[in-house]
Amino acid sequence: MATTVDVPTRDAARPPARSMRARRLATLALLLVLVVGAALASIAVGTRSIGLGDVWQALLDGDLASEEAVIVRQLRVPRTALGLLVGLALGIAGALMQGHTRNPLGDPGLLGVTAGASLAVVLAISVLGLTSPSDNVWFAFAGALAGTVLVYAIGSAGRGGATPLTLALAGAALSALLYALVRAILVSDEQTLESFRFWVVGSLAGRGADVAWQVGPFIALGLVLALANAPALNLLGLGEDVARGLGQRIWLARVVGLAAITLLCGAATAACGPIAFLGLVVPHMVRALTGPDHRWLLPCSGLLGAALLLAADVIGRVVARPGELQVGIVLALVGAPFFIALVRRVRTAGL
């Protein structure tokens, strides 16, 4: 008499719905705590040592007579606010990019956003002589927008329209072309190279409250579009045919997602320069905890991105006193080995 053997199915291996929800809520709460802690550390720690009591007094007292109060309220607080905005934007943009392209190596720069912003900044410095971060914000944002529009136009040409593969290929090709133009300008203009190299490393230093106010509305709009795009992105994860059968308009989901990526990554790049790696690694870390549901993945990726960016900025201020190490460099030095270890040792959830 034949015997049957029960084989665990894929659904049986999944955690119960209540357990997963509790895990996601715990992850969200933990990330909120990390963001608050990183923000407090960013305000309290800097290249100049200021006691916690003096920091607290500077935050509460409206008088800016002391030098410590000026440093805390006019330098560290705006810098922390900008770091929160940029970290949120890059974390969510990375999750959106990986979801729309179905590419685990996708990051916000894949659609030509970073390359377009870089070329625009180089032209602003070389042709117009604009070197201030507040002056270059609008040029960088315009270049990021133009780069994304070109990528989408190229990727959507042909019978099949815009697909994850055509968008990724178009983004890679256009980015290579734009970066070649950037290098051509830099090698022929040493003065532009000197100014551009401070922008291209990615930094929160030297950005005042005016920069945060300039990019804040674009990031806010991008966050709204990203959260609205989350349910559609979940359906696209089942396959375009299934999503279309469930009533999802594929072209609308793609356009909304690309608009959100452009606004988030374009504004972040315009404010602080290209900060690589953050949008790549953060979604993988969060996906291992929340699963692939973008309704949870997007907000959690934003929170973790903000916490990591502020933490890296604090580390950069401490390790190189009395100077500082730019946040883009710190993230690359610390994050790349961590990401390699994460890929090798941790079984992350699939896209």
Instruction: Say which CATH number the domain at 189 has.
Output: 1.10.3470.10
Q: How many domains does the chain have?
A: 1
The pLDDT value recorded for residue 162 is: 67
The pLDDT value recorded for residue 161 is: 67
pLDDT tens sequence for the chain (351 residues): 444 444 444 444 455 677 888 889 999 999 999 999 999 999 988 777 777 777 777 777 766 667 777 778 888 889 999 999 999 999 999 999 888 877 777 776 777 888 888 888 888 888 887 777 777 788 888 888 888 888 888 887 777 666 777 877 888 888 889 889 988 888 887 777 777 777 778 888 878 788 888 889 999 999 999 999 999 898 888 877 888 888 888 888 888 988 898 889 888 888 888 887 888 889 988 988 888 899 999 999 999 999 999 999 999 888 877 778 888 888 888 777 777 776 666 555 455
Domain assignment of residue 9, yes or no:
no
Domain assignment of residue 88, yes or no:
yes
Contacts of 119 (CB under 8 A, 6+ apart): 143, 147, 178, 181, 182
Range of the domain at 88: 34-345
Domain assignment of residue 12, yes or no:
no
Q: How many whole angstroms separate alpha carbon 342 and alpha carbon 21?
A: 24
Contact present, 92 and 302 (Cβ < 8 Å): yes
Domain assignment of residue 29, yes or no:
no
Q: Shortest CA distance to 84 belongs to which of 271, 292, 297, 320?
A: 271
158: left (phi over 0), alpha (psi -120 to 50) or beta: left
Contacts of 138 (CB under 8 A, 6+ apart): 214, 270
Domain assignment of residue 17, yes or no:
no
Q: Shortest CA distance to 312 belongs to which of 289, 336, 296?
A: 336
Domain assignment of residue 26, yes or no:
no
The pLDDT value recorded for residue 271 is: 86
Q: How far is CA 49 from CA 228, 311, 317, in A?
A: 43, 17, 11
Q: How many whole angstroms separate alpha carbon 268 and alpha carbon 274?
A: 8
Domain assignment of residue 266, yes or no:
yes
Whole-prediction pTM: 0.84
Q: How many whole angstroms separate alpha carbon 202 and alpha carbon 275?
A: 5
- 39's enclosing H/E stretch is helix 17-44
Give me the residue label for tokens 């607080």.
77
